[in-house]
Amino acid sequence: MYLAVVVLLMGVFPIISILVESARHGDAGLVFLIGKWFVFWAVGMRLLLAGVRQMANPAFTADTIFGIKDKAAHIIVRELGFANVAIGVLGGLSLLNPEWVVPAAIVGCLFYGLAGALHLRSGHRNSNENIAMISDLFIFVVLAVYLAATAFRPA
């Protein structure tokens, strides 16, 4: 279930959204659409859902992803959930305000890049942490490329 949610929110839904909007509005630039839809789905919806789950059920993240059985870790996971909800709300609201796409992409890129690097350094990853690492690094690259393309586009 975890893998399916990650694949849908961080790959399938953004790509479908890009294709649909591109078909409807052929004049929308590909770089803009990549930023808009990856920020909405991967930063907005993915982190919002993860945050809600971490606040409601911190054991999933602690036990299943990080392999930490100690219930004392739940308070830290809940705080991670607060941060994920905050970032997720920014990413989600960027759909309503296009000027928020770049700031949300910066925050999401930093978050996913740092989280992915942390997972990468872990020598004893389980399958769920591998999924988290791969998806984090994938979205980091997508957002970094988007931000670079946005920063260096002609005025």
pLDDT digits (tens, 9 = 90+) for 24-52: 987 779 999 999 999 999 999 999 999 99
Q: Give, for 116, the enclosing helix (H) or strand (E).
A: helix 101-121
* Domain carrying residue 103: 2-151
- Share above pLDDT 70 across residues of the chain, in percent, rounded to a whole number: 99
Task: Write the CA distances from 99 to 15, 53, 56, 149, integer angstroms.
Answer: 21, 28, 31, 16
Q: What is the pLDDT of residue 16?
A: 98
Contact of 44 with 94, CB cutoff 8 Å: yes
Q: What is the pLDDT of residue 155?
A: 63
In the chain, how many domains are there? 1
pLDDT digits (tens, 9 = 90+) for 85-129: 999 999 999 999 999 999 999 999 999 999 999 999 988 888 988
Mean pLDDT of 50-75: 92
Mean pLDDT of 53-81: 93
Query: Model-level pTM?
Result: 0.92
Here the tokens at position 45 are 């919806």
Phi-psi category of residue 136: left, alpha or beta, with phi > 0 → left and psi -120 to 50 → alpha: alpha
When pLDDT is cut at 50, 70 and 90, the band that residue 139 belongs to is: very high
